[in-house]
Structure 1
Amino acid sequence: MPAPLDLDQLQTFIAIADSGSFTKAADEVHRTQSAVSMQMRRLEERIGKELFVKEGRTNRLTENGERLLTYARRLIRLNREVLAAFDDASLEGSIRIGTPDDYADRFLPEIMARFARSNPRVELSVTCEPTINLQEQIKRGQLDIAIVTHDSDRGTSEVVRREPLLWVTSANHSIYKEEVLPIAVGRTTCMWRRAACDMLDSMGRDYRILFTSWSATVIIAAVLSGQAVSILPECALRPGMRVLGEADGFGLLPDVRIGIMRGHSSHPELVDALARHISESLDNISLPQADETGQIDFHGSGYGRSKRVRSAQLLPGW
C-alpha cells in the first residue's frame, strides 16, 4: 500500500504556490529555505512528477503542480475540519449572517455544511435580504457578516468571487424577440437593473419594466413563465432558462463581484472563521459550464472561477 502524503509538505507546497517564492514560503511555515527545498524534493519524489519550474526569481507551478494544488487545498481544509470537530476548546456562540436570495440557494448549503462540521457548537442565524439592506444592517450592528454584491460606492467588501451577469429568458418562449422587450428587474437602487437598462439604452432597444421585485424567486418565476427577460448571475441559472448572448442581439454585461462585509462583532474569532469558510466554499463551488457549441453542462465536476457563458439552453436535471 502506498505511503500517505505528508500534510506538512502539502502545507509548504501551498505556501510556495501562493507566494511564488521558496524564501517567502519558508518564513510563512517557519522553516529554513533549505528545509523547504528538501520538503519539495521529497514531495516530488512521492508524487513522481515535477511540480515547479523556475522563472527568474519566482517558482511557477507545472501542469502537474496545478493539479496537485487543488487536491492539496482540499486535504488541508479537511484536516482542519477534522481537528476542529474533536477540539473541546472549539468555537462556541452564535453568529448572524446575511445574503441575498440570489446567492442563498447556490452558496449557503456548501457554506453551512462546511462551517457546521468545523464548528458544531456555533449557532448560525441567517437573514436573506437585498445587498442594500444587508449593508445597512451591517452598519447598524444587526449582522456580524454578510455576503453581498460588491459596490464600491456603498461601503467596502472583500471580493471573493466573480461571475458573469447574464441575460436570461424562457427556453420555451420567444418573448426576447418582442419589439418592446418586457423585463423583470430589481428595484431602482439595484445595480443589475441599472446595468441592464444602460445596456438596452446603448443598444437602442425599446423595453418596458414589467415586473419589479427584490426577490430572486419572483424574477425567476417571471422568466420561466415566459413573461419577461431578466438578468441573473451565473449561480442563479435554473433549468428551463436560456442564456441570451450577442448572437441574439444582447450585449455583454459587467461581471458580478461577490464580496464579504464584516460588522463590529463581539465575537471576531467567529466572524474570522466564518469568513474563511465562505471564501473557501465560494472558491470550491462548481457551476454549469458552456462547451464550444454553447451547450451548458450541469453535471460537470470542475472547480474554480466561473467563465462567461454564451447563448445556450439550460436543460432539466441540474
Structure 2
Amino acid sequence: MRHFDSDTLAALVAVADFGSFTAAAEHLGKTQAAVSMAVARLEERLGKKLFERGHRRVTATVTGECLIGYARQIQTIEAEALEAVADRVTESRVRLGMPDDFVGSIGEALLHRFSPQNRALYIDLTCDFSRKLRLMMNNGELDVAIVTQAPEDPPDSVFRYERQVWCTGPNGHPEDEEVLRLAMFSDDCSARPRVFATLDRAERPWRLAHTSSHVSGIHLAVASGSMLTVLPESAVPAGWRCLGEADGLPALPALPLVLLVSRSERLAARQLAAFLRREFARAREPGVETVGWIEGAERDTPARNKAGL
C-alpha cells in the first residue's frame, strides 16, 4: 500500500476529533456506515487496528495516533497547495461565533496564543446566544462556533464542561434577601430556564429583576450589589464574590459546550477548530454535576417561581 485516499484520511481524523463514528459522519456530511466502512477498510489494508470501539467513546490505538498525526499534516499540506494555486487571493478571514460571556477567557487565548502563530489569519468574531449562532452556522455565515449543547447534538459531542457559579459584586449580600433578585441574560439564553428550575427545586424564592442581551449589561446591574447572577466560572469579574451551597444557594449543573465547524473544509477554519480543541477540551471532572442538562429539555421553562412573582 503506497497511497492514502483523502476522504479516508478525513474520516480517520474526524473520528479521532469527535470520538464517535456518528458525530464524525455528521461533521463530514456522510452516513455513519460510510465512515465506519472507510476506517475498517483502512485497518484491513494496514493489517492493524486504528481505534478501540468503546461503549461511549472511540479512542485511537498507538498505531492510530501515529497515523492520525501524519493524516493531519497531509490535510494541511493539501489545503495549502490548493489555496496556493487557486485563481483568487487566499481568504485569511475565519468567522468565529460564541456567547459573549466566553470572550474574556477564550478571546484572551486567541489573542495571545493563536494569532501570533497564525499571522496570515484574522478572526471575525460574532457574539450572540447559542440558538442564533446555530442558525448562522446553518446559513453559512460562520466557519466555527462555540455553543451550548442542544438535544439534537450527539451525546459525546461536548468538547468542554464549563462550571457555572452564583456570583455578585464585592460589597453586596443579595443572597441574604428572602427573595433573590436575579440579573440574567434575556429569553434567548438557553441556560437561564435551568437556573430557574434549579431554584424551584431547592424551594428558594426568586424574582427576575434585570435582563440583558450582553454580559456588560449583567455586570452593570450586579455591580450595584443588590442583585445576583449566574456566570461561567471563567467569566466572573475579578473581585466579585462567588457563592454556593454554604450561602444557601443550590448547586448548578455544569455548562456543556459544543464546537461546531463548517463543512467547507477551509484550512483557516480547521486551524482554528484544532486550536480550540487543543486549548480548551476538558474531560468531565470529578464533582462537576452535568446530569439534567439535556434530559427533560422540553421542560426548560418552569411553570412558577416560589415567590409567586
Corresponding residue for residue 176 of structure 1: 175
| 1:277 and 2:254 are equivalent in the alignment | no
| 1:230 and 2:267 are equivalent in the alignment | no
Give the secondary-structure state (helix, strand or coil) at the position aligned to 1:211. strand
**Cα distance change on mapping 1:172 and 1:306 into 2, 3 Å:** farther
Give the secondary-structure state (helix, strand or coil) at the position aligned to 2:191. helix
**Cα distance change on mapping 1:162 and 1:27 into 2, 3 Å:** closer
| 1:204 and 2:203 are equivalent in the alignment | yes
Corresponding residue for residue 239 of structure 1: 238
Corresponding residue for residue 25 of structure 1: 62
Identity of aligned residues (%): 29
Kindly indicate whether the alpha-carbon contact (under 8 Å) linking 1:163 and 1:308 is maintained by their aligned counterparts in 2.
no
Give the secondary-structure state (helix, strand or coil) at the position aligned to 1:151. coil
**Cα distance change on mapping 1:222 and 1:307 into 2, 3 Å:** farther
**Cα distance change on mapping 1:263 and 1:29 into 2, 3 Å:** closer
Measure, in 2, the Cα distance between the counterparts of 1:258 and 1:231: 16
**Cα distance change on mapping 1:111 and 1:281 into 2, 3 Å:** farther
Map residues 127-206 of structure 1 onto 2, 5 A cutoff: 127-153=126-152, 158-206=157-205
Q: Tell me the CA shift for residue 306 of structure 1.
A: 7.2
Q: Tell me the CA shift for residue 157 of structure 1.
A: 9.2
Give the secondary-structure state (helix, strand or coil) at the position aligned to 1:281. helix
**Cα distance change on mapping 1:145 and 1:152 into 2, 3 Å:** same
Measure, in 2, the Cα distance between the counterparts of 1:269 and 1:239: 36
**Cα distance change on mapping 1:88 and 1:272 into 2, 3 Å:** closer
Kindly indicate whether the alpha-carbon contact (under 8 Å) linking 2:173 and 2:226 is maintained by their aligned counterparts in 1.
no
Corresponding residue for residue 253 of structure 2: 254
Aligned-partner residue type, residue 268 of structure 1: R
Gaps of 5+ in 1: 1-18, 31-75, 285-303, 310-318
Corresponding residue for residue 217 of structure 1: 216
Gaps of 5+ in 2: 1-50, 53-59, 85-89, 289-309
**Cα distance change on mapping 1:256 and 1:306 into 2, 3 Å:** same
Aligned-partner residue type, residue 183 of structure 1: L
Kindly indicate whether the alpha-carbon contact (under 8 Å) linking 1:163 and 1:305 is maintained by their aligned counterparts in 2.
no
Kindly indicate whether the alpha-carbon contact (under 8 Å) linking 1:90 and 1:119 is maintained by their aligned counterparts in 2.
no
Corresponding residue for residue 105 of structure 1: 104
Measure, in 2, the Cα distance between the counterparts of 1:90 and 1:117: 21
Q: Supply the RMSD in Å over aligned alpha carbons.
A: 3.4
**Cα distance change on mapping 1:90 and 1:117 into 2, 3 Å:** farther
Measure, in 1, the Cα distance between the counterparts of 2:278 and 2:222: 31
Q: Tell me the CA shift for residue 205 of structure 1.
A: 1.8
Corresponding residue for residue 15 of structure 2: none
**Cα distance change on mapping 1:140 and 1:27 into 2, 3 Å:** closer
Name which structure has the greater RCO, CA cutoff 8 Å, separation 6+.
2
**TM-score normalized by structure 2?**
0.61
Kindly indicate whether the alpha-carbon contact (under 8 Å) linking 1:100 and 1:131 is maintained by their aligned counterparts in 2.
yes
**Cα distance change on mapping 1:126 and 1:249 into 2, 3 Å:** same
**Cα distance change on mapping 1:308 and 1:187 into 2, 3 Å:** farther
Deviations 1:169-228 (A, max 9, x none): 223111111111100112223232111110111122221101111211111222222131
Corresponding residue for residue 4 of structure 1: none
**Cα distance change on mapping 1:27 and 1:237 into 2, 3 Å:** closer
